[in-house]
Amino acid sequence: MDFPYLTIASAAAALRQGEFSAIELTRAALQRIEAYNGDLNAYITLDPEGALAAAEVADRRLKSGDATPLTGIPIAMKDIFCTRGLRTTCSSRMLADFVPPYDATVVRKLREAGAVMMGKTNMDEFAMGSSTETSYFGITRNPWDRERIPGGSSGGSAAAMAASLCLGATGTDTGGSIRQPAALTGLTGLKPTYGRVSRYGMIAFASSLDQAGPMTWTAEDAALLLQAMAGHDPLDSTSIDAPVPDYAAHLNGSIKGLRIGVPGEYFGEGLDPALREVLDNAQQLFRKLGAVIFPVSLPHTEYAIPTYYILAPAEASSNLARYDGIKFGYRCDQPRDLSDLYTRTRAEGFGSEVKRRIMLGTYVLSSGYYDAYYRKAQKVRRLIAGDFETAFHQVDLLLTPTTPSTAFRLGEKSDDPVRMYLSDIFTINVNLAGLPGISVPCGVDGQGLPMGMQLIGRPLEEAVMLKAAHAYQQATGWHKRRPRL
């Protein structure tokens, strides 16, 4: 068993053929976690006993012929999903000892599919960050270069995948937090259409933007994970009641005639020249595969950052008001009165980035500023969504960079929030418009660091997006590269 080079699809085939058992596969994952997690800090809570118990059940399902493609597959769960009986922290002191009494819908569905959950992965606190440097449990390091960030906020899941400490991982994407870390660690990361995957049991950051999705080596694996995660959930009022196609069944076949738009606004000043070159090469390859490349325009792109950083903090300030030291979570010692309880609990329980966003969100929602900022940002959000609607009258997909550059060094942007926020400049609009997006590896820079290409699709057309990504990966080998650990 060459664990680092296994994919979900290849491991599932080997399990069905009896080349190894689910218990053997799980033990191999646990051995790699023991060897490398101490340095990378990808997992912050492990569940080896639970994983081996689930693997034992998976082996029985495999023998009985009742297995799904995920049965026996070791996966990592971002520590933003509630897991019954297992600590769920959101990488915050506020929830450092919180043990939920129920599973998030995503967790329940993956368990039902037979996946083996290895543990919970590190993240930016309450998913607020782009580098996994704001976690109460310490930074996570990029397996490609331990002095660089793995992206964020799903950086723990990205690092666990890139170091082959699992075969698949979950992430959440509010402004690029699946796609950006996937690009910086050489992975395939998929953000589904808003509402395609249930948010029930997923601790909220910005409720109109948050969406769960898979992080894998390949588009084929992303299709298998998404298949299990997607679907209507009556427990989530924002869940879309629409059929879920068989994503894996739609992967193969020609993409001849597929219309791919290239928005000029994403290829301007600030884009790494090496990344521009590999994206030009990607366009040429798509042409060879039969796709047609069109120039398109998304004229309100420049307003993405200010719009997002008004709306997301506003929703965060509302969602995080529940953490007051009364019902659950961290509580300060010996409060003098109710005001002192609230003030010190929140001051001590939240980190600096979370406090910054709460303050910003409260400000834009306050009397006298609501119309000037929040209402105006909602109007601009509608204009941004309109740009995509217009573009999709002409094309089937959009092709853009995922990030402006490769992974930056740890601490490089920690003291400059605006520079940090610009890391998500190419991903934020997708969330504002509620669209699906996928990042796939498309090259490396002069230092061998991975680069990512983003494909953006129409609402609920993840199958088209996955098919194009799969065709690209069938013709290239970037997704087969692994870091040297």
Residues marked as catalytic: 78, 153, 177
Give the orientation angle of helix 105-112 with respect to helix 219-229, to 10 degrees: 110
Q: How many CB atoms lie within 10 A of CB 5?
A: 11
The alpha-carbon radius of gyration of the chain (Å, integer) is: 21
Q: How many CB atoms lie within 10 A of CB 208?
A: 16
Strand pairing report for 397-401 and 292-296 = unpaired
Structure tokens of 266? 């994403």
Strand pairing report for 74-78 and 116-121 = parallel
HSE at residue 106, side-chain half, CA atoms within 13 A, is 30
Q: How many CB atoms lie within 10 A of CB 138?
A: 12
Q: How many CB atoms lie within 10 A of CB 268?
A: 9
Per-residue CA distances from 53 to 3, 241, 275, 424 (Å): 20, 34, 44, 39
Please give the full DSSP string across 397-432, using - where no structure is assigned: EEEEESSSSSPPBTTSSTT-HHHHHGGGTTTHHHHH
Angle 44-50-54 (CA atoms, 0-180°, nearest 5)? 130
317 Cβ neighbours under 8 A, 6+ residues apart? 357, 358, 359, 360, 361, 362, 365
**CB contact burial 314-332 (16+ within 10 A = b; e otherwise):** bbbbbbbeebbbeeebbbb
16 Cβ neighbours under 8 A, 6+ residues apart? 62, 67
HSE at residue 122, side-chain half, CA atoms within 13 A, is 30
The answer to whether 35 and 71 have CB atoms below 8 angstroms apart is no
**Residue by residue, what is the 3-state secondary structure of 373-385?**
HHHHHHHHHHHHH
Structure tokens of 207? 């409720």
Please give the full DSSP string across 61-101, using - where no structure is assigned: HHHHT---TTTT-EEEEETTB-BTTB---TTSGGGTT---S
